């Protein structure tokens, strides 16, 4: 077969079938590749099962459906949307970008999208692996996995059993999203060499909820040895990960909203009804001054035994190379444009602070106020949320890794978005187009509007190349970047990415010291 442009499409023979991809931007791309059986009907809320394969040659030029999620035509005022149709619960596919489907044994980057556990897709143009494949000579895999109620509901004894359970599964397992991701990593181990990748040189990277996934995989017994490096971008490690007893009331509320009695009846509902009910759970679980998270991972004792923030400190996971970072104003993403928070009074913010700091909330408010002259109450609130949900837990992981003598590289993204008169500042997600160096794929996002192209291009080059270096060597340093030392105590070297990028000492020191008084 020859395309209209006279090109021969790339073809790969896998153990489960043959794939025909496409040439895009100078790299070979294979889209909509199934890595697990469709999680529909009786497999809904069951652990992922490897795909049985297909006969003949499968067309791999079109993305598979994204996982079902809430969708608003026209998108949101920050990202302009984070998931687009088509949606379907038959969504367990992945995309591969490779310089060539040969035997070159290149490093592999596996990308896990974020989205607050309720939105996103690995096949979004934002997350195209084309730039990494072309500029870094690496193979990139981006996955779709179950999110929202289909991935994160937990049913306890009623549920689908443990991940090991291709038969007598243990009672009480959950985290179906995690079984999807483990199955995808096994697919990478078994197949990536046919795409020119090295299964022994895999880096898993994720942002936000995807970073939580990445850390959870590091501690999963069935994922041991499947990757050697992780990149954790803005992990919300400050989230409380509930126990089964803490999660089941949330499941009961969801069942009530759905109008069914148990998981059996829930399996009979079409997925649009499930997503509609998810909106009701949002309403029941939202709290003023907190990032909304109606669906969460669960420490079920089968697929997850400890908080993901702790996994990289124990066992074989302690030997994994780690890069971790955060944006300076993470919480501005969710709160800077919200009138209900923007008009908050000082007393209201102090009351919210008191929920984290029962003693001395007014003093904590004053401490935050001193770091930001002219701060409004909402600015203090956003700094508090950024610290307790993102920055401080990330620093604590870096501190703990450093104390163990394990490799960890830390960064802080400080570049300020000019959008909305600067109100978003260095918000959650802003580093993503710089990391992927693909601003042409982000033109729909208000977040990136008005950025000076010269500054944008220089910073994107520095970050993109640092990520490539880390994927290839486990060290983010490269000739176009200031020397980036490992995070160690007491130096606490952290790379500050901004219009002028530099390695600095302990940029999160104020937050780190302030939050040491909070019991964890």
For residues 510 and 296, what is the distance between their CA atoms, to the nearest angstrom?
29
Q: 71 is written with which tokens?
A: 């969708």
Strand partners, 140: 97, 109
- Cα end-to-end span (Å), the chain: 60
Strand order in the sheet with 57-59: 11-14, 17-20, 57-59
Q: Which of 435, 50, 473, 491 is nearest to 210 (CA)?
A: 435
DSSP structure string for 349-407: HHHHHHHH-SS-HHHHHHHHHHHSTT--HHHHHHHHHHIIIIIHHHHHHHHHHHHHT--
DSSP states of 281-311: HHHHH--TTS---SS-----SSS--S-HHHH
- From the list 28, 123, 128, 208, the catalytic residue is 208
Coil, strand, or helix at residue 274?
helix
CA distance 503 to 481: 9
Contact of 205 with 213, CB cutoff 8 Å: no
Q: Would residue 66 show up in a list of annotated catalytic residues for this protein?
A: no
Q: How far is CA 319 from CA 4, 110, 493, in A?
A: 49, 19, 20
CA neighbor of 432 nearest in space, from 37, 82, 20, 42: 82
The catalytic residue among 82, 113, 307, 428 is 428
15 burial (CB, 10 Å; 0-12 / 13-18 / 19+) is exposed
Which of 295, 280, 381, 296 shows the shortest CA–CA distance to 334? 381
Contact 140, 133 (CB under 8 A): yes
515 catalytic, yes or no? no
Nearest-5° Cα angle at 175, 226 to 327: 75
Distance CA 379, CA 335 (A): 10
Give the separation between CA 464 and CA 431, rounded to whole angstroms. Answer: 10
- Beta strands 408-413 and 321-327 are parallel
Catalytic position from the list 130, 163, 330, 388: 330
Active site residue 428: yes
- The residues annotated with a catalytic role in the active site are 208, 330, 428
């Amino acid at each position: 077969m020859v395309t209209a442009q006279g090109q021969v499409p790339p073809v790969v023979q896998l153990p489960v079938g043959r794939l025909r991809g496409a040439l895009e931007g100078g790299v070979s791309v294979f889209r909509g590749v199934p890595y697990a059986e469709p999680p529909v009907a009786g497999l809904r809320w069951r652990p992922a099962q490897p795909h049985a394969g297909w006969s003949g040659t499968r067309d791999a030029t079109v993305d598979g459906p994204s996982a079902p999620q809430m969708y608003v035509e026209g998108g949101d005022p920050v990202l302009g949307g984070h998931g687009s149709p088509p949606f379907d619960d038959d969504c367990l596919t992945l995309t591969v970008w490779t310089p060539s489907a040969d035997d070159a044994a290149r490093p592999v980057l596996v990308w896990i999208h974020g989205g607050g556990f309720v939105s996103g897709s690995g096949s979004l143009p934002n997350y195209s692996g084309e730039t990494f494949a072309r500029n870094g000579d690496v193979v990139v895999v981006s996955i779709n996995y179950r999110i929202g109620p289909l991935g994160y509901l937990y049913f306890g004894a009623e549920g689908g059993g443990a991940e090991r359970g291709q038969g007598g599964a243990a009672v009480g397992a959950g985290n179906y999203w995690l079984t999807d991701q483990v199955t995808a990593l096994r697919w990478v181990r078994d197949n990536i060499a046919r795409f020119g990748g090295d299964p022994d040189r895999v880096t898993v990277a994720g942002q936000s909820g995807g970073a939580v996934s990445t850390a959870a995989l590091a501690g999963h017994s069935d994922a041991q040895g499947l990757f050697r490096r992780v990149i954790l971008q803005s992990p919300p490690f400050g989230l409380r990960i509930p126990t089964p007893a803490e999660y089941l009331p949330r499941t009961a509320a969801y069942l009530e909203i759905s109008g069914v009695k148990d998981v059996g009846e829930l399996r009979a509902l079409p997925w649009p009804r499930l997503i509609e009910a998810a909106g009701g759970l949002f309403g029941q679980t939202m709290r003023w001054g907190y990032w909304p998270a109606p669906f969460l991972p669960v420490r079920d004792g089968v697929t997850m035994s400890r908080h993901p923030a702790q996994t990289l400190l124990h066992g074989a996971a302690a030997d994994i190379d780690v890069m971790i970072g955060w944006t300076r104003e993470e919480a501005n993403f969710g709160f800077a444009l919200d009138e209900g928070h923007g008009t908050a009074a000082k007393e209201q913010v102090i009351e919210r602070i008191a929920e984290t700091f029962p003693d001395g909330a007014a003093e904590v408010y004053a401490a935050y106020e001193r770091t930001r002259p002219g701060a409004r109450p909402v600015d203090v609130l956003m700094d508090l949320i950024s610290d307790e949900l993102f920055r401080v837990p990330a620093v604590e992981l870096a501190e703990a890794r450093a104390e163990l003598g394990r490799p960890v590289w830390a960064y802080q993204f400080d570049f300020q978005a000019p959008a909305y008169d600067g109100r978003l500042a260095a918000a959650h997600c802003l580093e993503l187009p710089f990391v992927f160096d693909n601003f042409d794929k982000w033109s729909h996002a208000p977040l990136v509007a008005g950025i000076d192209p010269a500054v944008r291009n220089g910073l994107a080059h520095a970050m993109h190349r640092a990520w490539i270096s880390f994927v290839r060597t486990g060290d983010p340093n490269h000739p176009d970047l200031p020397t980036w030392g490992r995070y160690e105590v007491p130096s606490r070297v952290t790379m500050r990415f901004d219009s002028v990028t530099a390695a600095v000492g302990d940029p999160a020191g104020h937050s780190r010291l302030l939050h040491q008084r909070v019991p964890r």
